[in-house]
Structure 1
Amino acid sequence: MRDFQKSHKLDHVSYDVRGPVLDYADKMKLNGEKILQLNTGNPPAFGFQAPDEVIRDLVRNAVDSEGYSDSKGIFSARKAIMQYCQLKGIKGVDIDDVYTGNGVSELIVMAMQGLLDDGDEMLIPMPDYPLWTAAVSLAGARPVHYVCDEGANWYPDIDDIKSKITPNTKGIVIINPNNPTGILYPKPVLEEIAKLALEHDLIIFSDEIYDRLVMDGQEHVSIASVASPEQFVVTMSGLSKSHLIPGFRVGWMVLSGDKSHVKGYIEGLNMLASMRLCSNVLAQSVVQTSLGGIQRVDKLLQPGGRIYEQREFITEAINSIPGISAVKPNAAFYIFPKIDREMYQIDDDEQFVLDFLKQEKILLVHGRGFNWKEPDHFRIVYLPRVEELAEIHDKMERFLRQYRR
Structure 2
Amino acid sequence: MRNPINAKVRDIKPSGIRKFFDIANEIPGVISLGVGEPDFDTPWIIRDEGMYTLQKGRTFYTANAGLIELREEICRYLDRRYGLKYSPQNETLVTVGGSEAIDLALRAMLDPGDEVIYAEPCYVSYLPCIVLADGVPVAVELKEEDQFRLKKEDLLAAITPKSKVVILSYPNNPTGAIMSKEDLEEIAAVIIENDLFVITDEIYSELSYNGEHVSIASLPGMKERTVYINGFSKGYAMTGWRLGYAAAPPIIMEQMIKIHQFAIMAAPTTSQYAGIVALKSCDDNVAEMRESYNQRRRFLMKIMKDLELPCFEPFGAFYIFPNISEFGLTSEEFATRLVLEEKVAVVPGTAFGDSGEGFIRISYAYSIEELKEAFEHIKNFIERLRVEKKNNG
TM-score, normalised to structure 1's length?
Answer: 0.89
Counterparts of residues 388-399 of structure 1 (less than 5 Å): 388-399=370-381
Query: Which residue matches 1:336?
Result: 321
1:271-282 to 2 correspondences below 5 Å: 271-275=258-262, 276-282=264-270
1:78-89 → structure 2 map (5 Å cutoff): 78-87=71-80, 88-89=82-83
1:244 alignment partner AA: A
1:40 pairs with one of 35, 46, 68 = 35
Q: Residue 370 of structure 1 corresponds to which residue in structure 2?
A: 352
Contact 1:54 1:286 in 2 (8 A): yes
Shift of 1:240: 0.7
State the percentage of identical aligned residues. Answer: 27
- Please tell me whether residue 313 in structure 1 is matched to residue 299 in structure 2: yes
Secondary structure at the counterpart of residue 63 of structure 2: coil
Q: Give the conservation status (yes or no) of the 8 Å contact 1:176–1:210.
A: yes
The aligned runs of 1:5-404 (5 Å cut-off) are 7-18=7-18, 20-28=19-27, 33-43=28-38, 46=39, 48-62=40-54, 63-87=56-80, 88-216=82-210, 218-228=211-221, 231-256=224-249, 263=251, 265-275=252-262, 276-293=264-281, 294-302=283-291, 306-322=292-308, 324-341=309-326, 344-346=327-329, 348-373=330-355, 375-404=357-386
Give, as a single letter, the amino acid of the residue that structure 1 aligns with 2:332: E
Q: Paired residues, what number?
A: 383
Instruction: Quote the offset at 1:12 in angstroms.
Output: 3.7
Deviations 1:322-353 (A, max 9, x none): 3x211122222111111233xx121x211221
User: 1:231 Cα shift?
Assistant: 3.4
Q: Distance in 1 between matches of 2:35 and 2:63?
A: 31
* Aligned-partner Cα distance in 2 for 1:128–1:357: 23
CA-to-aligned-CA distance 1:154-193 (integer Å, 9 cap, x gap): 2212101001011111111111111111122110111111
SS at match of 2:304: helix
Give the direction of change, closer, same or farther, for the CA distance of 1:95–1:268 in structure 2 (3 Å limit): closer
Question: Could you tell me whether the CA contact under 8 Å between 1:82 and 1:95 is conserved in 2?
Answer: no
Shift of 1:199: 0.8
Q: 1:229 & 1:184 partners in 2: Cα distance?
A: 19
**How far apart are the structure 2 equivalents of 1:368 and 1:227?**
36
Q: CA deviation at 1:4?
A: 5.6
Compare 110-119 and 234-243 and name the one that shifted more.
110-119
Q: What is the DSSP-based 3-state SS (H/G/I as helix, E as strand, rest coil) of the residue aligned with 1:59?
A: helix
Contact 2:325 2:359 in 1 (8 A): no
The 3-state SS of whatever aligns with 2:90 is helix
Unaligned runs of 5+ in 1: none
CA contact (8 A) 1:85 1:93 kept: no
8 Å Cα contact 1:195/1:227 also seen in 2 = no
Gap regions ≥5 residues in structure 2: none
Q: Deviations over 1:273-325 (max 9, x none)?
A: 111111111101112211124331212333xxx32221111111123223x21
Opposite residue 287 of structure 2, the aligned amino acid is: D
Per-residue deviation, 1:267:
4.1
1:6 CA drift (Å): 6.4
Letter in 1 for 2:340: K
Structure 1 stretch 96-105 or stretch 312-321: which is displaced more? Answer: 312-321
Aligned to 2:26, the other structure's residue is in SS state helix
Separation in structure 1 between the aligned mates of residue 143 and residue 354 of structure 2, nearest angstrom:
11
CA RMSD in angstroms comes to 2.0
Instruction: Report SS of the residue matched to 2:248.
Output: strand
Q: Structure 1 residues 181, 72: closer, same or farther in 2, change over 3 A?
A: same
Q: Distance in 2 between matches of 1:238 and 1:286?
A: 13
Residues 330/374 of structure 1: CA separation in 2 closer, same or farther (3 Å cut):
closer
CA distance in 2 between counterparts of 1:6 and 1:318 reads 45
> What SS does the aligned partner of 2:335 have?
helix
